[in-house]
């Protein structure tokens, strides 16, 4: 028995293709900006942009907020494996729910960001971060990148989608 592996979903009227396209845009924007940072900045270099924002080259061998960054290297493969499982799950969700616009938008943003950071882990052994927000040069938010921004936007949209869904059922 052959399985239908098309990019359209059966019975829901939606297609995964626009969402995969959005994920690809996030991935390309992420990798393009990282290539620029790697080409023009040395590790630790920083450029003052505004009183609250810098461009800085940072390497994160851990996960969010440098979780497990000080581990001996095994975390690279753990986080890569987790991301691969997450990517497969997101693809399955997109296939089944591509007609749900906000939900699929959120998943596509997360998918593009997750793949962007996995590419870094596989190529470099760390994730390239370069966006830095700070207050009065005393408080610094951990550096992040376009992939992280995509994941964050996607997570916020997932929360919004759920709140709207709950509100509609009342």
**What are the pLDDT digits (tens) for 45-67?**
999 999 999 999 999 876 665 55
Mean pLDDT of 81-101: 91
Catalytic residue among 30, 120, 129, 161: 129
Number of domains in the chain: 1
Residue 120 known to be catalytic: no
Query: Within a domain: residue 3?
Result: no
Query: Within a domain: residue 95?
Result: yes
Query: Within a domain: residue 82?
Result: yes
Residue range of the domain that includes 159: 17-169
Structure pTM?
0.83
Residue 148 known to be catalytic: yes
Query: Within a domain: residue 116?
Result: yes
Q: Which residues contact 16 (CB under 8 A, 6 or more apart)?
A: 7, 8, 9, 91, 94, 95, 98
């Amino acid at each position: 028995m052959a399985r239908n592996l098309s990019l359209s979903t059966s019975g829901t009227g939606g297609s995964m293709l626009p969402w995969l396209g959005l994920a690809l845009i996030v991935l390309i924007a992420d990798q393009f900006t990282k290539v620029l940072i790697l080409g023009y900045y040395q590790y630790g270099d920083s450029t003052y942009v505004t009183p609250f924002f810098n461009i800085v080259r940072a390497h994160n061998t851990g996960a969010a907020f440098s979780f497990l960054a000080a581990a001996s290297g095994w975390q690279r493969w753990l986080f890569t494996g987790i991301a691969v499982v997450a990517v497969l799950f997101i693809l399955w969700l997109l296939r089944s729910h591509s007609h749900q616009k906000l939900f699929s938008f959120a998943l596509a943003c997360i998918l593009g960001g997750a793949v962007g950071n996995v590419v870094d882990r596989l190529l470099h052994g760390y994730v390239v971060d370069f966006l830095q927000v700070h207050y009065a040069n005393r408080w610094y938010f951990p550096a992040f990148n376009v992939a992280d921004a995509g994941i964050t936007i996607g997570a916020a949209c997932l929360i919004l989608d759920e709140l709207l869904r709950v509100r509609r059922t009342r």
